[in-house]
Structure 1
Amino acid sequence: MIRERKRALAGVVGGILLANTGSYIWFPVLVATLGGTDSGFWAGVVMCMTYVGRLLATFSYEGIAARLGIRGAVLLGTGLEAVALGLMGFAGGVFSYGVLAFFIGFGSGTSFPGLKNVLVSFPEDERPKAFSAFQMAGQVGLFGGALLGAVLAHVDLRTLFSVVFAFFAGFCVITSALIPRDGFARAPERPDVRVPLFSPAAFKGIDVRGATRYFLLSAAFWFLSLGYVVGIPLHMAEYVSGWAPSSPFWITGLSILVLQYPLFKLVSTRLSPGAVMAVGLAGMTVAFIAFGAGRTAPWVVVGCLTVVLGEILFVPSFDLWIAGRVPEERLARAMGAMHFFRSAGNMVGSLAAGILFDLSRSLDVPGGNWYVAAVLAAGCALICLSGRKSGTAADARRTDGANATENEEKVGENV
């Protein structure tokens, strides 16, 4: 069994490595291309469609996995993603790109949870190491994909997407060969229960009681994060055309690989989660100001080295923040809410990045899109600081208890 889990881990880690490598080859190039031939708005629309697909896959994954098994769900999602990416090279026009982007996102939203499910089915003492390897492989794929994207930046899109298709075809092969059909979890106690193929139950699990502003803060962070992901290739094509559109991503990818663990450990042991999040957002604020004010290659490097503070510090600290402020009995629903607000931030952030880029050019305010992002990031940092010592899980329990008592009194009065 240990040998089988090692094989499965190799399949999961190898799969996410190939997937991230392929993803970071194509999307910076396509965003920059659409920004030049159409507009930033349409580039944002195409990227937004991938997140629409991922969000809708949330409502279908359980039904697909119940019918095909975890491995089958991963294979279906990866195959759909590979075919859609292969067709991208032969497509023309934003409508075709948008439709294919939706299927890319739906495939990703089906395969990615399947990979996570395999790791979750590992024995509890093996999960931390497995998830650490998973995260590291993703970052290595990001870095490698951005480097390859820079090499392939000037080839035609048909050749580019053929290379990407090869990576995702490899993803299909390695996962289907190495991961078990249903992971390593026990069989369900009621196998006769039919899971619907599409279910909106994920919406029912969203619970934001006592943590509304925190989830809105999460949505704002992912809005900013996608603003960078979509905005920086457009920025490179407009102001730093001598560099490949994917160049900022290999700088950020390498920075995260080197700094993720030591920097988070250093800061988190000295500051509260709210303060750590504020530092991450402050780094993003500095980065956006650098992108807007400088608009040259050296300033892009400065921005890339500081924007990573958001990924390094905000994301893990937010999980800790929520865990400390939401009662244990509501944590599972809180995690579902986190996914929903993240998806919402991703979708709106993709669209807004293209719109703000176009608007800054039409108003002749170079870098204006980044100034808007900087103001939002600074505001979010202040919110983190203002709430860093309030709203603990114990407070939430007391609030729930007080509300319950109040409701009982009202019922007694009505009787």
Structure 2
Amino acid sequence: MTTERRRALIGVNAGIFLAHIGNYIWFPVFVASLGGTDSGFWAGVVMCMTYVGRLLATFFYEGVAARIGVRGAVFAGTALEAVALGLMGFVGGVAAYSALALFIGFGSGTAFPGLKNILVSYPDDERPKALSTFQMAAQIGLFGGALLGGLLAGVELRTLFSVVFAIFIGFCLASSAFIPRDGFRSVPEPAAAQGTAPTVRTPLFSTAVFKGIDVRGATRYFLLSAVFWFLSIGFIVGIPLHMERFVPGWAPSAPFWVTGLTVLVLQYPLFKVLIKRLDPGTVMAIGLAGMALAFLAFGAGRGPAWVFVGCLTVVLGDILFVPSFDIWVARKVPEERLAKAMGAMHFFRSAGNMAGSLLAGVLFDLSGTLGVPGGNWYVAAVVAVGCALVCLAGRTAETGQDEAEPADAEAAGEPEKAVADV
């Protein structure tokens, strides 16, 4: 890895580390505070608005990155998120919180794809390590944020969000100071300089940000990504409710310590071993299968031991699915469409998180009303198994396609381009 790429990786990882510290300071404390003064429903509404903002940002990311570069998009998005978070401590009421939450999500939805854009622009042999360390930095930040959030749980919201504002300013400066303007992809010369027609300027707002990716199977995998985040946020929202009803002797946050430690220990070595031996589709299927087993454990057992076992396997989704999906996109999407792909990834992630955050509580309440304890987890398990089967079916189709194309690509004299244009 060159010095420039190593420097960029430090900046990206420092940024995501600080972002997770900040988020896990304010998120649990604020939700608990708003749930106590207003209601859990309104707390959910405010948090859902962050995902609405992230979803909206996907329509702007490609245009913003085209104008000010990936580094500029990260800086602008993080600065907006920092200001909105700082103001959260100086306003009151659900309406004001919801409005600021929209800007928080919009800033995150602009900055996060930029960080991913940098990492997927690394060479193939360096990309798995870069993406794995990115996930690990995020997980360590989660731990730090949860610890600091516990220490700041008794302070006023003004003080809490002032601390978070300072952390996000650090995120803004750390990430943008180290990353290159446009990542490490080759930048083609303007068409006008080549004696051809002038290039078409990328619109600032585009509703086609998640469409037009000319890669076979892209739609299937982007939809799978949305379902994965639906399942992931469903666990995050559903497990505290589960703990309160079925494991009252444990703190509601106890499962996250189990998942966090498991990710820290297994993230890099497990993913490294599997991605070297298996294709991304198979690795994604294994991650989803682990989530399905966890959901079955939560639903069938419901006691402390079952929760512990489930938490050990539910993290296979974060460990295996997320970086495998990033690698799949980097391999299949042509360079000139990478910014659009990053926007598409974040669109489907936000859509899945929106649906998951709203439905997790509904499914939990419905399972109690119907007299089927753990019924919400059974539904999640069925969805996870279905997604794993789709991943395996897509892998089989792509294997046959990849075996059939090299001869044609070699005959054309452009093997890399022929694969990229599939």
Paired position in structure 2 for 1:169: 169
Letter paired with 1:197: L
Paired position in structure 2 for 1:147: 147
Counterpart of 1:377 in 2: which secondary structure? helix
Paired position in structure 2 for 1:107: 107
Tell me if the contact between 1:43 and 1:354 (Cα under 8 Å) persists in the aligned partners: no
Aligned length: 397
Paired position in structure 1 for 2:377: 370
Tell me if the contact between 1:283 and 1:306 (Cα under 8 Å) persists in the aligned partners: yes
Tell me if the contact between 2:136 and 2:267 (Cα under 8 Å) persists in the aligned partners: no
TM-score, normalized by length of structure 2?
A: 0.75
Can you list the C-alpha shifts for 1:66-89, whole angstroms capped at 9, x where unaligned? 444444332221121112222333
Can you list the C-alpha shifts for 1:205-240, whole angstroms capped at 9, x where unaligned? 245755654443333222111211222344445555
Distance 1:79 1:266 in 2: 38
Once the two structures are TM-superposed, the CA of residue 43 in structure 1 deviates from its matched residue by: 4.1
Paired position in structure 1 for 2:19: 19
Tell me if the contact between 2:217 and 2:394 (Cα under 8 Å) persists in the aligned partners: no
After superposition, the Cα gap between the structure-2 partners of 1:60 and 1:338, relative to the gap in structure 1 and judged at 3 Å, is: closer
Counterpart of 1:230 in 2: which secondary structure? helix
Match of 2:313 among 288, 306, 311: 306
Paired position in structure 2 for 1:220: 227
Distance 1:278 1:120 in 2: 21
Can you list the C-alpha shifts for 1:115-173, whole angstroms capped at 9, x where unaligned? 34455677887666554543432232123223333444455544433332221122133
Tell me if the contact between 1:29 and 1:245 (Cα under 8 Å) persists in the aligned partners: no
After superposition, the Cα gap between the structure-2 partners of 1:215 and 1:35, relative to the gap in structure 1 and judged at 3 Å, is: same
Question: Relative to structure 2, which stretch is displaced further, 329-338 or 95-104?
Answer: 329-338
1:287 aligns with 2:294: yes
1:77 aligns with 2:77: yes
Distance 1:103 1:201 in 2: 22
Counterpart of 1:199 in 2: which secondary structure? coil
Distance 1:247 1:366 in 2: 21
Structure 1 residue ranges without an equivalent (≥5): 402-415
Letter paired with 1:389: T
Paired position in structure 2 for 1:230: 237
After superposition, the Cα gap between the structure-2 partners of 1:327 and 1:109, relative to the gap in structure 1 and judged at 3 Å, is: closer
Distance 2:208 2:115 in 1: 21
Alignment of 1:187-202 (within 5 A): 189-190=189-190, 194-202=201-209
Letter paired with 2:142: L
Structure 2 residue ranges without an equivalent (≥5): 193-197, 409-422
**Percent of residue pairs identical:** 73
Paired position in structure 2 for 1:412: none
Question: Relative to structure 2, which stretch is displaced further, 117-126 or 262-271?
Answer: 117-126
Question: Relative to structure 2, which stretch is displaced further, 184-193 or 71-80?
Answer: 184-193
Distance 1:212 1:115 in 2: 22
Tell me if the contact between 2:285 and 2:388 (Cα under 8 Å) persists in the aligned partners: yes
1:52 aligns with 2:59: no
Tell me if the contact between 1:17 and 1:141 (Cα under 8 Å) persists in the aligned partners: yes
Paired position in structure 1 for 2:362: 355
Paired position in structure 2 for 1:254: 261
Letter paired with 1:111: A
Distance 1:136 1:121 in 2: 19
Distance 1:379 1:186 in 2: 38
Tell me if the contact between 2:34 and 2:43 (Cα under 8 Å) persists in the aligned partners: yes
Distance 2:36 2:371 in 1: 17
RMSD: 4.1
Distance 2:58 2:284 in 1: 27
Tell me if the contact between 2:25 and 2:145 (Cα under 8 Å) persists in the aligned partners: yes
Can you list the C-alpha shifts for 1:289-317, whole angstroms capped at 9, x where unaligned? 33344555544332221110122233344
Alignment of 1:374-385 (within 5 A): 374-384=381-391
Paired position in structure 1 for 2:322: 315
Distance 2:51 2:357 in 1: 9
Match of 1:205 among 193, 212, 225: 212
After superposition, the Cα gap between the structure-2 partners of 1:363 and 1:270, relative to the gap in structure 1 and judged at 3 Å, is: same
After superposition, the Cα gap between the structure-2 partners of 1:160 and 1:301, relative to the gap in structure 1 and judged at 3 Å, is: farther
Tell me if the contact between 1:45 and 1:350 (Cα under 8 Å) persists in the aligned partners: no
Tell me if the contact between 1:280 and 1:311 (Cα under 8 Å) persists in the aligned partners: yes
Letter paired with 2:108: S
